[in-house]
Each structure stands twice: as structure tokens, then as C-alpha cells.
Structure 1
Amino acid sequence: MNKQTILLTGFHYMRKTLLLLGMILVLGFWTYKNRFSLATYSAPNVENLPEANGLMYVESELSYSELAVNLYKDTMMPVFQEIDFQQIARENQQYIPPTTTLFYLNTPLTVKLIQLNPLIGLDLPVRLTLYQTERQRTFLTSMSPQYLLRRYGLNDPKLNRELEGYMNELFGLIGEEKPDTILRKLVVPKEGIKMKMANGSFEEVLTRFEQAIERNSHYRKVFELDYVELAQEQETIIPPTKLFVAGNLVDGITAVQGSQTLGLDEIPQKLLVFERDGEVWIAYNDLAYNLKRHRTSLSPRALNNLQHDVEWLVNQVAGDYPQALWTRIKR
């Protein structure tokens, strides 16, 4: 074998090796970018039917688009905020069937509930999740008044009737005035709620929230709601209480793929910051609790990543920087 043949053979093998390395790098990058899609969920609720305890729902014969039109057209009950999960998924090269959560703000009722127990601000404003399954079935869902009030220890029959009447009005927007309710077991006060005491003043905590969102490009603030301002509209005074709806929506889509009703209370994360007796507290939902409640699950890796995202944000807002750093290292 002459020298030229040896060189050509060596060049040939080198080119194949470089090509193989390039393919490995591309595959590795794609795997990292799509790690949450690859970290598949094992979802017992494969048809995405409403199954969570404390849920009220209707299955409609109308299409998703027709239902959406009906929910938006009533000017007496306007939509306060919305989260379009399908649009978020599309923007990040993911897929989910049509799924939207709508927030409705009834100011007098909201202030009345906050006065009785500020923690209930975590599950307000009242929200509906409208979605279509892979099999083209269309559902409208919400948390039932019974579940909502019992979760916050509010056992007032009159208040239950008032909240139930408002919920029935919302379902009435699509011509359904008697939704079904799922109550497999009674909820206990503060069930599925985590709390952490924050360092510093209420204003310092709010500033840290904004700084945390700015520092992490994966996070997005959807909206915030100042309950003090709502109370002032009702000529009522309440201690500082503010709701933030924010989180890593790209990663959260993975959970919503397993159960679209998670858009009601878990995705995106809700952080309630409130002051009582000179102490500032942060309340938020327990991800593992809600995954179990909505009868879906994530792979251990995806679950850990989502939990670490939430813990990092809470620790940042609370001013617990060593714990926030440790959470980021584990992530």
C-alpha cells in the first residue's frame, strides 16, 4: 500500500469519525433542549377526563371554539385574565390539545372571602379551564365551591350558596347550569398548601420576586393581583395581600399534557404573599399533591426539576439565599 493510499484511507476514516461525533453532539443538544418532553409522564388519566377530587365539570356537545365564544361574549361577566396553554406549547415547539384557563374577578365576593381567610387568595380569582381532548371531547372545569371553602376552613352555608350561585352563572354562559361535581373525599383545611415565612418587610419580598423573575429567563410572570386594592374598592381595609401567577411555563406544559385540568390550580404556579401579625408569609401549592389529585404523574426527573424550579423561586422571594443556591445546584 503506497503512501497516497494510506493518506486517503486515513482521511476517509477521520471524516466518518468527525461525522459521527457531529451527529452525537446534535443528538445530545436536541435531547437536552427537549428533556421534559423526553422525560415522559406516566398518566393513568390517558383520556384527560376530569378526575380530580373537588372538581366540577360539564362535557359539552359544542366545539371548543363555540364554547370559547360563549365564555367571552357576556360583558357582565368579563374575563379578567387568560392562559392559553396550546399557544405556549406552540411557541416552544411542544404540543397540547386546545387548553385555556380563564380567570373571572368578582370583586365583592373575592374581598368577602379574603377577609375570612387570606389564604383563599391562592385559589382566587375564580377560574375555569376549557379544554379539548385528543378524541375531540370538550370539557369545561372548575374547582367546586365545597372543595374551595373546606380547603380554607370556611363552613358557612350562606357563603357556599353565594359562591355556588356565582359558579353556576359562569357555567350558564355555555348553557350548562348544573355541572357534575367530583367529591371522593372531604378536603381538610390547608390540604396541599405549603407555607414559608419570609425575611424582611412585605415590600422587600415583592422586590425580591421581581428580581428573581428578571434573573431567570425561564420564568414568566403571567399577572399579579393586589387584594388590598380590591378591598379599597369595597371601602374595606385588609392587611397586605398579593397574588403572583408565574413560573416556568415551558416545563409546566409537560405536566398539563398529562392532565389538562392542572391548568386550574397548579400550572403556572401561584404564590400568595401576605402579612399577618408583623410576619410575611408565602403560600403556594404542593406540586406532588396536585399531581396525585389530578391522577397523573411525571417521570422522577421531570418531577424533581419542576419541584426545584418552584423551591428556587420561593426561596429567592423569601430571602433564603443559601437554600436557593442549594436548590439551584441540585437542579
Structure 2
Amino acid sequence: MKGLLLVALCWVVTWPLSAAEGVIDVKSAFGVEETADRLQTVLKQKGMKLFARINHAQGAASVGLSLRDTELLLFGNPKVGSPLMRCEQSVALDLPQKALIWQDENAQVWISYNDPGYLQSRHAISGCDEVLAKVEKALAAFVQAAAGEDM
């Protein structure tokens, strides 16, 4: 019985950590809408295609539920995504790229996105280290520009 309690306690203590495995969170100096607008501008400037911008809070409100401000941007570039899919086609499950802009319970706004290293591990991508490094650098730059004071 003690062993079972120990296993249960370990699971409870580590569960929140595993829920965000492979997710990079970056604080934003702006509100959700402004952060999403800034990210959309950066993406356009860098030649990325914006496939969708989804306002989850509006969706929740449309069915009578409340949700803190939450927006999702789906974006990408076939010049980058296609080579990744050639290395391992299952990565298409996580493409196009996504950025979640959300407000936490303390009114702090965050931009969250998938860590390319996690996607490499998740999909057992091999032979694409150069492309993954490029993606990692680009995502970090896009997010920092949108979240920070300078643009």
C-alpha cells in the first residue's frame, strides 16, 4: 500500500510538469490581442504565411462559457516545413507551426510554442538537424520580437 501511495504522490507532483513537455513559454509585455497582432506583423515581415488566427475566448463565449483571453496563430512556410516532412512525414501532425497567446490567472500574457527539439524527438526526425536549428532560431526570434518592447 505504501508503494502505491508513493507512486500516486510522484504522479501528482510531476503531472503539471509533463503537461507542458516540449512547450516553450515566453512572457509578453503586451495584452493578448496586441501580442497576437505583433506576432502576425512579424510573421508577415519574415515571409511566413498565416493560415489561421483563432480566438478561443470568443469561441467559448459563443457557447456561454468564459475563458481568459486565448488566441492561436497557425503559420508556416513550405520551404521549411516540406523538408522536415521529407525527413519524417509524421511531423506534419505538428505543422504548420502554432503559437498560443494566452493570459494566465495573474493576468500575465504568454506566447507558447512547440520546442523544435521536442518535435525532433517526438517524431524521431533524423538527418534534418540543420533545418531544425533554423526553425528553432527563427521561432525564438519571431516570438521575442512580438513579446518584447522592440519590433
Shorter-normalised TM range: 0.7 to 0.9
- DSSP-derived class of the 1:230 partner: helix
**Match 2:33 to one of 181, 198, 203:** 203
Deviations 1:64-116 (A, max 9, x none): xxxxxxxxxxxxxxxxxxxxxxxxxxxxxxxxxxxxxxxxxxxxxxxxxxxxx
Equivalence for 1:268: 96
Moved >6 Å (runs of 4+): none
Cα 1:222/1:239, change in 2 over 3 Å: same
- How many residues matched? 136
- Give the whole-Å Cα distance in 1 for the aligned partners of 2:101 and 2:134: 23
Equivalence for 2:144: 315
Residue type of the alignment partner of 1:207: D
Shift of 1:287: 0.6
- Give the whole-Å Cα distance in 1 for the aligned partners of 2:149 and 2:77: 20
Relative contact order, CA 8 A, sep 6+: which one is greater? 2
TM, length-normalised to structure 2:
0.81
Matches within 5 A, 1:14-29: none
- Give the whole-Å Cα distance in 2 for the aligned partners of 1:320 and 1:301: 30
Identity %: 24
Contact 1:198 1:282 in 2 (8 A): yes
- DSSP-derived class of the 1:236 partner: coil
Matches within 5 A, 1:1-331: 188-217=18-47, 219-265=48-94, 267-276=95-104, 277-319=106-148, 321=150
Cα 1:319/1:211, change in 2 over 3 Å: same
Contact 2:84 2:128 in 1 (8 A): no
Cα 1:320/1:303, change in 2 over 3 Å: farther
Listed as ranges, the gaps of 5+ residues in structure 2 are 1-14
Listed as ranges, the gaps of 5+ residues in structure 1 are 1-152, 155-186, 325-331
Contact 1:255 1:298 in 2 (8 A): no
Residue type of the alignment partner of 2:31: S
Residue type of the alignment partner of 2:133: N
Structure of larger gyration radius = 1
Shift of 1:320: 5.6
Contact 1:241 1:272 in 2 (8 A): yes
Contact 1:252 1:306 in 2 (8 A): no
TM, length-normalised to structure 1:
0.39
Residue type of the alignment partner of 1:288: G
Shift of 1:189: 2.0
Equivalence for 1:34: none
- Give the whole-Å Cα distance in 2 for the aligned partners of 1:193 and 1:248: 21
- Give the whole-Å Cα distance in 2 for the aligned partners of 1:235 and 1:261: 36
Contact 2:87 2:128 in 1 (8 A): no
- DSSP-derived class of the 1:211 partner: helix
Contact 1:196 1:281 in 2 (8 A): yes
Q: State the superposition RMSD in angstroms.
A: 2.0
- Give the whole-Å Cα distance in 2 for the aligned partners of 1:238 and 1:293: 30
